[in-house]
Amino acid sequence: MGKAVLVLRLAVRDLRRRPGHAALLLVAIAAATTTLSLGLVLRGAAEQPYQSTRAVTAGPDVVLSLAPQPGSTVDPSSLSEHLTAPGVTASSGPFPYTQRVVSIGGLSVHTWLQGRDSDVAKVDRPVLLTGEWTRPGGVVVEAGLAKAIGAEVGDAVDIGGRPFTVTGTAVTAAAEPYPKAAFAPFFSGAARPPLPTGGIDRGPVHGAPPADGFQLVPTGLMWLTEADTRTVAEPSMLAYVLSLKLAHPDGAPAFAAARSTVTERTVLAAETWQDVEASDGWALSKKQFSLMLGSSLLVLVAVASITVLVGGRMADQVHRAGLLKAVGATPALVAVVLLAEHLAIALLASGLGLAAARLLDPVLSDPGAGLLGGAGQASFTPGIVAVVVGVALSIAALATFVPAARAARISTTQALARTVRPPRRSSWLITLSARMPVPLLLGLRIAARRPRRTWLGVFAVATAITGIVASLAARASRLAESAPGLDPRLAMTQGLLVISVMLAVQATVNMICVAWATILDTRRSAALSRALGATPGQVSGGLSVAQLLPALGGALIGVACGLGLAQVLDDDPLAVPPYWQLAAVVLGTALIVVICTAIPARLGATRSAGELLHAA
């Protein structure tokens, strides 16, 4: 009991003695836990909205669409053989469809136009959100498309030069959300027919379609009457769609795979409910993935920061451990005190991280307009809380292990003598720096004194910039192929934005940690340089250079790794972010470094050099 009180008292005293250190540690761990919590919470948040939409709209298990090859036409009756296929329990259609450019409110969007005289059917009953079902001269706009292009009931629509009016907006579970809606002749689902070459291609089959044919571009979905559909459709682009319910929904992929075919005259595409669900969850799953990846990067940077922080305090901690040992404390007690401090900070940080994640979560888990109902507040299960707290505590324990082990290992006398690790020597850098202007001379030598810390700085900056650049690249590739209107896929960049901000915060914290440790470490040699005639400006310039060079190196490595990461992760071709963004990232890094180091270095440099030298 008495021992616990002692540990507590020592831990609290030490934390209060160094509030800045405790705060940095807190921010470093909290940034990592926030992102980690978000990533964990978003996992598994996507399924429910799709499932409820599917239930309400009697969503089909398989959608078969039949389109003519160029120069041919199709006969809808050829689809009827599938109605009697084994396992099919209900159907609706065939309904005619086509693809045309639709102009609405100044925007031109390639749109699938489906002929449905009624929203009533056994399978696939679109549910109206606003207005009423279509009538001659009217269109119902799929909700996701409506939101992206801002379509409302009563808006005028131009389809191939004919005027139409929006009569309503509706939700369906039978097609992928805007801008990914796709029917034959395109295969957007998992089921692909074997090609003559044996390969698999996402694109149009059998060569490029004629310029006035079906286009594989971002497309939305609208419903017209069947008559209007036939009227607006080019004869060579009139196709038919059939929605099927199966006895065993899980068998949909196999059913679809068996039916996707390409002949010289027609293309039959089959899309399953699983395909639609995956597409609905795409933005969210990208967010989840980027958050998980981001939180891993953040944990890495946090560990780097804490290593630097603890390393900077090493001399002091070891001395303190020595003091405690000298008055009779065992090494174990010393380690326990250190551990208690860091664990307390880690606990607080995981609490902060969970709270921050709870605030950010509703913003990130918006499922998209094309589904019924929100995702609901994603739940913080005990498992998630346990993982977050566990990771935070592991970080703290890791940070404590080194000084605790050191303190336990070295003798009390050594510890009391404050034997700090001697600085390293790098001959070629010293020789090289002799030819540089004074701030570079001092900076290079400071950087060379503690190579491990310098590399940690490079690593932390590189990690952070990797994440940020990968986010920018992903965003750039989204923008490069973005659909007209507000492409809902851009929502994924919210997750990337969170990651980028967190990484920037974390990298800044890391920078402060490195600068702090370096300034502590070089206080005496900085004072000496001033006694030998260096100006305060040169000394603080040297400190900045010592941080700036590794940070710039790290930033460049980070840019390269970030582009590489984006390339690996994104299935689309890499889109390099605009050069001004990359330049801004690198220059921003430099600016942050200069601010983080120049201020404390300047404060330190104006202190009396005499005192420092005499105290040493």
Partner 1 sequence: MSEVLRARDLRMTYGRDTGTVHALEGVDLDVERGETVAIMGPSGCGKSTLLQLLGGLQRSTRGQVWVDGRQIDALNERALSRMRQRAIGFVFQAFHLLEELTAVENVELPALLAGRSPSAARHRAAELLDQVGLAEHAGRLPVSLSGGERQRVAIARALSNDPLVVLADEPTGNLDSVATSEVLRLLDGLRAAGQTQVIVTHDARVAATADRLISMRDGVFVEETRLDRGPSGPLSELAGLEG
Q: Which residues make up the interface to partner 1 (CB under 8 A)? A: 422-426, 430, 434-435, 438, 441, 445, 448-449, 524-525, 528-538, 605-606, 608-611, 613-614, 616
Q: Which is nearer to partner 1, 430 or 583 (CB)?
A: 430
Q: Supply the minimum distance, in Å, between the C-beta of residue 454 and partner 1.
A: 13
CB 499 within 8 A of CB 580: no
Q: Which is nearer to partner 1, 250 or 611 (CB)?
A: 611
Q: Supply the minimum distance, in Å, between the C-beta of residue 574 and partner 1.
A: 44
The residue whose two tokens read 């639609």 is: 276
CB 94 within 8 A of CB 67: no
Structure-block tokens of residue 278: 């995956």
Q: Supply the minimum distance, in Å, between the C-beta of residue 422 and partner 1.
A: 6
Q: How far apart are CA 530 and CA 612, in angstroms?
A: 11
Q: Supply the minimum distance, in Å, between the C-beta of residue 452 and partner 1.
A: 14
How buried is residue 518: exposed, middle or buried, by Cβ count under 10 Å (0-12/13-18/19+)?
A: buried
E runs forming strands in 62-201: 62-68, 88-104, 107-115, 127-131, 138-142, 156-159, 162-171
Q: Supply the minimum distance, in Å, between the C-beta of residue 425 and partner 1.
A: 4
Q: Are strands 239-246 and 162-171 parallel, antiparallel or unpaired?
A: unpaired
Q: Supply the minimum distance, in Å, between the C-beta of residue 606 and partner 1.
A: 7
Q: What is the dihedral of CA 471, 476, 477, 483, to 10 degrees?
A: 120
Q: Supply the minimum distance, in Å, between the C-beta of residue 538 and partner 1.
A: 7
Q: Which is nearer to partner 1, 110 or 445 (CB)?
A: 445
R_g of the chain, CA atoms, integer Å: 32
Q: Supply the minimum distance, in Å, between the C-beta of residue 577 and partner 1.
A: 41
For residue 86, how many other CB atoms are within 10 A of its CB?
A: 7
The residue whose two tokens read 């890499």 is: 574
CB 474 within 8 A of CB 500: no
Numbers of helices and strands, H then E, in the chain: 18, 11
Q: Which is nearer to partner 1, 132 or 611 (CB)?
A: 611
Q: Which is nearer to partner 1, 96 or 439 (CB)?
A: 439
Q: Which is nearer to partner 1, 169 or 540 (CB)?
A: 540
Q: Which is nearer to partner 1, 108 or 414 (CB)?
A: 414
Q: Which is nearer to partner 1, 271 or 521 (CB)?
A: 521
Q: Which is nearer to partner 1, 144 or 439 (CB)?
A: 439
Q: Supply the minimum distance, in Å, between the C-beta of residue 539 and partner 1.
A: 9
What is the SS3 assignment for 90? strand
Q: Which is nearer to partner 1, 358 or 524 (CB)?
A: 524
CB 547 within 8 A of CB 596: yes
The DSSP result for 382-445, as a single string, is HHHHHHHHHHHHHHHHHHHHHHHHHHHHS-HHHHHTT-PPPPP--HHHHHHHTTS-HHHHHHHH
Q: Supply the minimum distance, in Å, between the C-beta of residue 494 and partner 1.
A: 48
CA nearest 29: which of 519, 547, 397, 466? 397
H-helix or E-strand spanning residue 230: helix 226-232
